[in-house]
Amino acid sequence: MKFTQGERRLSGIAIPLSAIRSESSPGCGEFPDLARAADLASAWGFDLVQLLPVNDSGFQSSPYFALSAFALNPIYIRIGDLPELSAGASSLKAEAEALVDRYSGSERVPYEALLKDKLALLRTIWLSASTGARGRALLEELELWIAANPWSRDYAAFVALKSQNGEKPWWEWPRLRDPGSDDIASLWKDKNLATELRFWAWLQLRAAAQFAAAANCLAEKGIALMGDIPILMNADSADVWARRGCFSLELSAGAPPDMYSSSGQNWGFPIYDWEVLERQGYAFWVERLAEADKYYSCYRIDHVLGFFRIWSLSERDRTGALGRFIPDIPLKREEFEALGFGPERRRWLSRPHVPSWKLVQAAGESAAKGAVAAALDRIGEEDLFLFKEGIKGEKDIEALPSLSPAARDFLLAAWRDRAFIEYEPGSFIPTWSYRSSSCWPSLSDGERVELEGLIGRKRAQAEELWAKTGRKLLGTLSKAVPMLPCAEDLGSVPDCVPRVLEELGILGLRVLRWTRRWNEGGQPYIPIGDYPRLSVASPSVHDSSSIREWWEGEADREGTWRFASAALERDLGACPDRLSPEQVEPLLELIARSASRFAVYPLQDLLAMSAKLRPADPKGERINVPGTVGIGNWSYRAPATIDAILEEKKLAAKARALAKIRTVPKAPVPKAPVPNKSGARK
């Protein structure tokens, strides 16, 4: 859909579709509930609703573990609205109503149980509707839809086979692990699979119709709908299974170490083979965006940094500590030799050297002997060891039998202790934490200066390469559809990223707590008036704590409160330990007064302005904790129905006040004297 909001400064609500609560929804939001979300946005004077991905993720509740880049999650189908129930079928209607009654009171989304029960009822409806005269008409309608949506053939074949194989990943199937187009065509000709394959395609036909109707409803009300398109695909997905050549399965994507994870992250998603994709005219991505364009007028590119360079890990890595960027500019063997680093010294820098006394100290003498025998080879006659040649990653160490926990932990830490990685013969890259490696301090000051200079020059060359790569990929894709692109550009951001995004007119992301000058003393907040116009400002995101939980457990409260007082030019009073409904308001007002084109608030942060609607414990507002698998992840559900939220007049007034700020071109702030003791400007 074309973005029709022009250059206006918009206000938006971010909410997972699953979190919407209505009188008609059974335990999670459904596609028709988007119309009620649009009503809420309109009542508050907002112009945008932002969703998390709504792709089919099977029995995995995280929407980023999709089984398909194209297929919608059938958990969002409203069974009572299916045309198959419009003529009679009273018993099936009663079952649909019973499903709503069974789950509607759930405090959190009962994802797996609800999906299982929904699919069972949907299958019953399909079997009833696809027979007889009415069935012939339905099958004719379905065949036309499949022909217009060829991705549905791969998807239906994949999920049908996955179900037959006990939901195991495709690489554990006894057959059809690497299908060709003829194999998939044969499956569709198999009479024994005809009903099953068409059941999964029918689900997509009906999901698409309900989603399109909801999206059109938002468009008619002047509300922009923003989708979320993850850059990466789940390895166990129809796309990786059927389009194997587009992916490099021997590498997985992740994130380098940061303040939240000292060993980085390994997401387990394969990276793209961009050379293959380029030869295909980026068909996979063009098709993917064209599918999203049926519903959205703007979209968020998750982890846009991956279009510039992706942190890549070998299939034998467990963490993200020893990854490397692809593409990158390596240090070559000849460059090391020119600086006087011969073979032994290169080995010293790039392969962990383990003194036995440290292993004994960590694990005890007996356990150390077993660890040496299993994992290490002595260097000559020295009391110094290298890892055996057969050990290529952390998973190899974890697989060693009879290691004590202390010995295993020591060996894993030792494996990561190096300054450089020789990822292929003669090509080296520095590790993310090379300055903290044991070998780095052993170099002379002059050697460290020379190596730092070489690393710096390579980084400058890499920045040029990343800019060229991002410009080519994003430039091609942003022109493929009329949707307005926005980018999630959080993390370790190369200098070239904001420059290229601005060149291409792509909005970046500015989250209040992280929009700081990190390289300056005290790491001051960037003034809200200095946020780029081409950006989306937000108080929190789905992977972070809410504004309240952040304030109570993570924030520099005094510094943030002073910043807010200065930015709003009024006395906010004493800095609170916990945010009352009234004290949430100025922090959200900062977002409203930012120079960003969009100000988008997670629903939880808006509800925090209501004493009635916010939970007592802010941890209940959290959607996801990255890098963890918990029963609370991805199960957030709004504490009240949209109708009940609309009845909260005080909250509505506060929300409308935030939206009104955005309608003023320069968003002036009221000026009032501020006592010196508050730390704010006069």
Q: In terms of domains, do 416 and 512 share one?
A: no
Number of folded domains that form the chain: 3
- Taking Cα atoms as reference points, which of 539, 534, 411 lies closest to residue 484? 534
Mean pLDDT of 177-190: 95
Q: What pLDDT is attached to residue 666?
A: 52
Rounded CA-CA distance 655/119 in Å is 38
Q: In terms of domains, do 454 and 528 share one?
A: no
Q: Looking at the predicted structure, is the pLDDT value of residue 667 above 70?
A: no
Predicted confidence (pLDDT) per residue in 542-589, tens digit: 999 999 999 999 999 999 999 999 999 999 999 999 999 999 999 999
Q: What pLDDT is attached to residue 675?
A: 35
Structure tokens at 413: 């830490």
Rounded CA-CA distance 508/474 in Å is 13
Q: What pLDDT is attached to residue 639?
A: 96
Q: In terms of domains, do 238 and 356 share one?
A: no
Give me the DSSP letters along 331-362: EEHHHHHHTT--HHHHHHHHS--EEHHHHHHH
In a domain, 432, yes or no: yes
How sure is the predictor about 211, in pLDDT bands with cuts at 50, 70 and 90?
very high
Q: Looking at the predicted structure, is the pLDDT value of residue 665 above 80?
A: no
Q: How far apart are the first and last CA of the chain?
A: 47
Q: What pLDDT is attached to residue 599?
A: 98
Q: Looking at the predicted structure, is the pLDDT value of residue 293 above 90?
A: yes
Inter-CA distances, 593 with 41, 92, 533, 680, Å: 19, 51, 12, 17
Q: In terms of domains, do 549 and 443 share one?
A: no
Mean pLDDT of 185-208: 97
How sure is the predictor about 670, in pLDDT bands with cuts at 50, 70 and 90?
very low
Q: What pLDDT is attached to residue 261?
A: 84
In a domain, 503, yes or no: no
SS3 of 278, please? helix
Contact residues for 397 (Cβ-Cβ < 8 A; gap 6+): 375, 391, 403, 408, 411, 412, 415
Q: What percent of the chain has pLDDT over 90?
A: 92
185 CB neighbour count, 10 Å cutoff: 12
Boundary-marking domain end, from 242, 259, 274? 242
CATH code, domain carrying 29: 3.20.20.80
Backbone angles phi, psi at 422, to 5 degrees: -95, 90
- Taking Cα atoms as reference points, which of 57, 84, 71, 32 lies closest to residue 212? 32
Contact indicator for 261, 255 with CB cutoff of 8 Å: yes
- Structural domain range at position 121: 10-242
| pTM for the whole structure | 0.93
Boundary-marking domain end, from 215, 242, 269? 242
Q: What pLDDT is attached to residue 282?
A: 97
In a domain, 539, yes or no: yes
Mean pLDDT of 592-618: 97
In a domain, 389, yes or no: yes
SS3 of 408, please? helix
Q: In terms of domains, do 518 and 624 share one?
A: yes
In a domain, 295, yes or no: no
Point out the least confidently predicted range of 81-95, 213-227, 228-242, 640-654.
81-95
Q: In terms of domains, do 209 and 341 share one?
A: no
Predicted confidence (pLDDT) per residue in 254-291, tens digit: 999 987 788 999 999 999 999 999 999 999 999 999 99
Q: What pLDDT is attached to residue 632?
A: 83
Q: Looking at the predicted structure, is the pLDDT value of residue 681 above 70?
A: no
Q: In terms of domains, do 346 and 225 share one?
A: no
Q: In terms of domains, do 421 and 352 share one?
A: yes
Q: In terms of domains, do 420 and 516 share one?
A: no
The per-residue pLDDT of the chain, averaged, comes to 94
Structure tokens at 607: 């509800």
Q: In terms of domains, do 617 and 518 share one?
A: yes
Predicted confidence (pLDDT) per residue in 308-317, tens digit: 999 999 999 9
> The tokens 């400007």 sit on which residue?
681
SS3 of 69, please? coil
Rounded CA-CA distance 229/248 in Å is 20
How sure is the predictor about 678, in pLDDT bands with cuts at 50, 70 and 90?
very low
Peptide bond preceding 327: is omega within 30 degrees of 0, i.e. cis?
Answer: yes
Q: What pLDDT is attached to residue 674?
A: 37
In a domain, 272, yes or no: no
In a domain, 205, yes or no: yes
Mean pLDDT of 329-333: 97
Rounded CA-CA distance 600/381 in Å is 64
Q: In terms of domains, do 449 and 547 share one?
A: no
Q: In terms of domains, do 409 and 516 share one?
A: no
Backbone angles phi, psi at 245, to 5 degrees: -65, -15
Rounded CA-CA distance 40/42 in Å is 5
- H-type helices in 221-244, by residue range? 238-242
In a domain, 311, yes or no: no
Strands 535-538 and 420-424, bridge-based pairing: unpaired
Predicted confidence (pLDDT) per residue in 384-399, tens digit: 999 999 999 999 999 9
Q: What pLDDT is attached to residue 259?
A: 79
Mean pLDDT of 644-662: 97
Q: Is the dihedral of CA 181, 186, 189, 192 positive or negative?
A: negative
Q: What percent of the chain has pLDDT over 70?
A: 97
Boundary-marking domain end, from 242, 277, 294? 242
